[in-house]
Chains A and B, each alone.
Chain A
Amino acid sequence: MSGVRVALFVTCLVDGLFPDVGKATVTLLERLGHEVVVPRGQTCCGQMHVNTGYARQAVPIIRNHVEAFADADVVVTPSGSCAGSIRHQHADVAAEHGGRRLAAAAEEVAGKTYELSEFLVDVLGVTDVGAYFPHRVTYHPTCHSLRILRVGDRPLRLLREVRGIDLVELPSADTCCGFGGTFALKNADTSTAMLADKMTNIVGTGARVVTAGDASCLMHIGGGLSRLRAGVRPVHLAQVLASTAAAPMAVAVR
């Protein structure tokens, strides 16, 4: 498919903390010949509020999101978790606390929202995006991309086509990394215990880069690896796919 006008939902976390992930998503989509727009009104999907028990307070956030993307043809976001919330929570929360009109509008936005790997593989029909990333990489499938969106092996199919990549399998890949939003704070000990096992598995692969489709989980995993000075760098899937031979991404361990 060519010439799609893609409305990017960059997510609050990428906007504020990981702008490079957003830039990489833009670079990638434009390189594939599509126009990217960034609706100004966007902020956050409201997932943290909903999942912490503040669904009512999330309603204005959801309303804002729905209005920001009402006119979009198709919405793409570099986050399995946010796409999951938009598709599987917004309409329900709206129906319970925000009214029928909002629920219907949320349903409509949900219907045209895709996580990045879904959009590439299912909508654009590409797995080879022309990327070049000459590093040893292991992939962590995030829980919400796996079990809410069911992205399956789409990210891996994309990664396998990357030139120069040395893709190594992550043991117990589909086990949660322990992030879980506010879980990481409310149950910090348990979260850390889960993180420790995830890090052991990552480090054991000998990979220099761990990649995933969610900046949030990568912040958690990366924060742990950085504290350990483990020498493994978290890189979002969009960044791996945006990297080319002409403009390779520099992978220095911070």
Chain B
Amino acid sequence: MTFLGMPSRNLVGEPFPRAARAALGNAQLRRNLAKATGTIRAKRASVVAEVPDWAGLRAAGAAIKDAVLADLDTHLLRLEEALTARGTTVHWARDAEEAARVVTELVTATGTTEVIKVKSMATAEIGLNDALAAAGVRAVETDLAELIVQLGDDRPSHILVPAIHRGRAEIRDLFRREMPGVDPDLPDDPAALAEAARRYLRHKFTTVDVAISGANFAVADSGALVVVESEGNGRMCLTLPRTLISVVGIEKLVPTWQDLEVFLQLLPRSSTGERMNPYTSVWTGPTEGQTSHVVLVDNGRTATLADPRGRAALRCIRCSACLNSCPVYERTGGHAYGSVYPGPIGAVLSPQLTGVRHNKTLPFASSLCGVCYDVCPVAIDIPSMLVHLRGEVARTTAPNAESAAMRALAWAMSDSRRWARALRAGRLGRALGRRRDRIGRLPPPLSAWTDARDLPRPPRQTFRDWWETR
């Protein structure tokens, strides 16, 4: 692995099983999540079903991303050249800390003490807001959900709907408490709340001079950057401030403008379940007197690229279809993953970005049910990748009770006579279920099973013994 330095703390949290347990106990969260994911799932399914060539688009999307990754150095240099030629200054960052420092320096050089931000996963990943705060700069999130999260001093729980875990009454209370100049009698209907945010932010858009964005796509051959959004805050941030700094992961590239004909179909339908999102902005170099910077961020992406079995995770276009479809995510929510990238993609991407040894529980945060692969618009085989990463965890973990048991079991299972003996010995377990035909509570580690489910009582005769006597 070429990854050096410390993993970004925005990609690692407490062990998943423990965090999940806490989340599972939160009834309001469970209700909100079930409703939200269920609604988006249904919308996505219906707009995907109406596209007759979806399978073709999906295959093309996967192949375009693979082609970019296969020659990533060439495409990065091409992008840099195109951006520079049109007047954008290009910066590079090896890790989160460096990326945050580069952006912070650019911001402080303008003399501003406040910046406005368009929602961007990359800036969350590099912990930009904290870095800016440390330099005395306030970052104002302008996406409504991100603003809710920010005002609540909270963490996003979903890539697409970061405040999915908050109810309207909570949001109203938050606005009344934290939003300067807000109506003290603000009601809790979503339209009124959105209107309050509109007013508060309109002032910011027209007065703050530096904006920070990410990019959904960066077109290597022309230097065009693309931001896909719904609310119009992106348009505001990209247009009004004099300085625009865009933080772009090095995997966000597509080779040519034409390739967007695929992604601008795949993304909105997979993401919000719309035929097209309300606004998409495309800009090629600074316009209308702006100064523009692009910061290209590695932060573990090259380490991911180095693993042929893991690199497909870099195809991800952050649509969040896998989150919305995942039965684990639907119940635990995003916080349990401890990373800015939650859900199935987070479970494969976060450990790769940080190095598996720093993120050992996420590859196991899945029942391998396979829904994520089915819905992924760029056909990332997340289940197989999880299995691969589990192998990396096992390989880099010191021998323990689990590995000993696996070894013993493998030894028994690789020879049918040994296995038959083991099964016969297993019938001793019948003693545990003597009264009824089931086994109730057992001590640890078997209690992990029997806390909630009975075990069947082993039969008098195994199948193979029956077959022999038949």
Direct contact of A and B (CB under 8 A): yes
B283 CB–A CB distance under 8 Å:
no
Residues from chain B with a CB closer than 8 A to the CB of A53 are: 363, 387, 390-395
Q: Given contacts A44-B419, A193-B331, are A61 and B464 in contact (CB under 8 A)?
A: no
Q: Which of A16, A57, A254 has the most CB of B within 10 A?
A: A16
B74 CB–A CB distance under 8 Å:
no
A18 to B407, alpha carbons, bound, how many Å? Answer: 24
Stretch at the interface among B88-96, B107-115, B455-463: B455-463
A132 CB–B CB distance under 8 Å:
no
Contact of B367 among A48, A178, A227 (CB under 8 A): A178
Residues from chain A with a CB closer than 8 A to the CB of B449 are: 184-185, 188, 223
A56 to B395, alpha carbons, bound, how many Å? Answer: 10
Question: Quick check: B438 and A187 within 8 Å, CB to CB?
Answer: no
Residues from chain B with a CB closer than 8 A to the CB of A146 are: 370
Question: Quick check: B328 and A194 within 8 Å, CB to CB?
Answer: yes
Residues from chain A with a CB closer than 8 A to the CB of B373 are: 147
Q: Given contacts A52-B394, A60-B410, are A186 and B415 in contact (CB under 8 A)?
A: no
Question: Quick check: A223 and B454 within 8 Å, CB to CB?
Answer: yes
Stretch at the interface among A34-42, A108-116, A202-210: A34-42
Question: Quick check: A186 and B461 within 8 Å, CB to CB?
Answer: no
A130 CB–B CB distance under 8 Å:
no
A185 to B367, alpha carbons, bound, how many Å? Answer: 11
A68 CB–B CB distance under 8 Å:
yes
A244 CB–B CB distance under 8 Å:
no
Q: Given contacts A44-B413, A223-B456, are A175 and B327 in contact (CB under 8 A)?
A: yes
A57 to B463, alpha carbons, bound, how many Å? Answer: 25
A7 CB–B CB distance under 8 Å:
no
Q: For residues 147 through 184 of chain A, which have their beta carbon under 8 Å from a beta carbon of chain B?
A: 147-148, 175-176, 178-184
A36 to B395, alpha carbons, bound, how many Å? Answer: 40
Residues from chain A with a CB closer than 8 A to the CB of B20 are: 187, 189-190
A213 CB–B CB distance under 8 Å:
no
Interface string of A204-226 (1 = CB under 8 A from B): 00000000000000011011101
Contact of B365 among A17, A44, A187 (CB under 8 A): A187
Q: Given contacts A38-B467, A53-B390, A183-B364, are A19 and B453 in contact (CB under 8 A)?
A: no
Question: Quick check: A57 and B406 within 8 Å, CB to CB?
Answer: yes
Min CB gap B322→A, angstroms: 13
A119 to B235, alpha carbons, bound, how many Å? Answer: 56
- Smallest CB gap from B18: residue in A: A189
Residues from chain B with a CB closer than 8 A to the CB of A194 are: 327-328, 331, 367
A10 CB–B CB distance under 8 Å:
yes
Q: Given contacts A178-B327, A224-B453, are A61 and B371 in contact (CB under 8 A)?
A: no
Contact of B453 among A182, A220, A254 (CB under 8 A): A220
A144 to B412, alpha carbons, bound, how many Å? Answer: 25
Residues from chain B with a CB closer than 8 A to the CB of A51 are: 368, 387, 390
Question: Quick check: A227 and B452 within 8 Å, CB to CB?
Answer: yes
A179 to B24, alpha carbons, bound, how many Å? Answer: 17
A14 CB–B CB distance under 8 Å:
yes
Min CB gap B195→A, angstroms: 36
Question: Quick check: A227 and B459 within 8 Å, CB to CB?
Answer: no
Residues from chain A with a CB closer than 8 A to the CB of B415 are: 43, 64
A153 to B186, alpha carbons, bound, how many Å? Answer: 52
Residues from chain B with a CB closer than 8 A to the CB of A50 are: 387
Question: Quick check: A187 and B374 within 8 Å, CB to CB?
Answer: no
Question: Quick check: A15 and B462 within 8 Å, CB to CB?
Answer: yes
Question: Quick check: B416 and A191 within 8 Å, CB to CB?
Answer: no
Number of B residues with CB within 8 Å of any CB on chain A: 63
Min CB gap B425→A, angstroms: 10
Question: Quick check: B328 and A222 within 8 Å, CB to CB?
Answer: no
- Smallest CB gap from B427: residue in A: A16
Q: Given contacts A60-B414, A184-B449, A190-B331, are A143 and B409 in contact (CB under 8 A)?
A: no
Contact of A143 among B370, B387, B406, B451 (CB under 8 A): B370
A51 to B364, alpha carbons, bound, how many Å? Answer: 9
Question: Quick check: B463 and A193 within 8 Å, CB to CB?
Answer: no
A226 to B441, alpha carbons, bound, how many Å? Answer: 12
Q: For residues 294 through 339 of chain B, which have their beta carbon under 8 Å from a beta carbon of chain A?
A: 327-328, 331-332
- Smallest CB gap from B326: residue in A: A176
Interface string of A41-71 (1 = CB under 8 A from B): 1111010111111111110110110001000
Question: Quick check: B370 and A144 within 8 Å, CB to CB?
Answer: yes
Question: Quick check: A185 and B445 within 8 Å, CB to CB?
Answer: yes
A219 to B456, alpha carbons, bound, how many Å? Answer: 7
- Smallest CB gap from B371: residue in A: A147
A183 to B364, alpha carbons, bound, how many Å? Answer: 7
A94 CB–B CB distance under 8 Å:
no
A222 to B437, alpha carbons, bound, how many Å? Answer: 12
Q: Given contacts A53-B391, A187-B16, A194-B328, are A227 and B369 in contact (CB under 8 A)?
A: no
Question: Quick check: B462 and A16 within 8 Å, CB to CB?
Answer: yes
Q: Given contacts A186-B17, A187-B365, are A227 and B454 in contact (CB under 8 A)?
A: yes
Interface string of B364-384 (1 = CB under 8 A from A): 111111110110000000000
Residues from chain A with a CB closer than 8 A to the CB of B374 are: 147
Question: Quick check: B414 and A43 within 8 Å, CB to CB?
Answer: yes
A133 to B24, alpha carbons, bound, how many Å? Answer: 39
In the complex, given contacts A49-B409, A61-B413, what are 11 additional A-B residue pairs having Cβ atoms less than 8 angstroms apart?
Answer: A18-B456, A43-B415, A54-B406, A61-B414, A64-B416, A147-B374, A180-B367, A187-B328, A187-B365, A193-B24, A220-B453
Shortest 10 CB-CB distances between A and B: which pairs?
A180-B367, A223-B453, A53-B390, A53-B394, A60-B414, A147-B370, A176-B369, A143-B369, A19-B463, A22-B463
A-B contact pairs, 16 of them (CB 8 A): A42-B416, A49-B409, A54-B406, A57-B407, A143-B370, A147-B374, A186-B17, A187-B328, A188-B451, A189-B17, A189-B21, A190-B24, A190-B331, A193-B331, A194-B367, A226-B438
Chain B interface residues toward A at CB < 8 A: 16-17, 20-21, 24, 327-328, 331-332, 363-371, 373-374, 387, 390-395, 402-403, 406-407, 409-416, 419, 423, 426, 436-438, 440, 445, 448-449, 451-456, 458-459, 461-464, 466-467
